[in-house]
Amino acid sequence: MEETIRRVFIGSTEDMPRKLGKTTVIGNTEIAVFRLENGDIRAIENRCPHKGGVLAEGIVSGEFVFCPMHDWKICVTDGKVQAPDIGCVKSFPVEVIEDQVFILVDAEK
């Protein structure tokens, strides 16, 4: 069966502060959105797999966010937890079209 994707508008690039997280909710999914120092925008599930820390409140460094609860390092590009810890969060594709930011999600969300 073919998977259907929909594009959800979440704001303009100006609405996305650099090196800080922003929380957005699409359906029942809470997503952390990050505008990196280089201007790239990334989106991942907003809960650390360790103890559920809110990742949008974490410290951003390069392409990583550090969970505010226990300092787990998570890549905002692919959602993978960095060693020595193990785990991952879902990552979401982001499109920027004429300064408008969209997250791509499954159509049923």
The pTM is what? Answer: 0.90
Starting from the edge strand earliest in sequence, which strands make up the sheet with 29-35, in order?
21-26, 29-35, 41-45, 91-92
CATH for the 5-106 domain, from 2.60.40.10, 2.60.120.10, 1.10.287.130, 2.102.10.10: 2.102.10.10
| pLDDT tens digits along 42-79 | 999 999 988 888 999 999 999 999 998 888 999 999 99
Every domain of the chain and the residues it spans:
5-106
Confidence of residue 107 (pLDDT cuts 50, 70, 90): confident
Residue for token pair 């300064």: 99
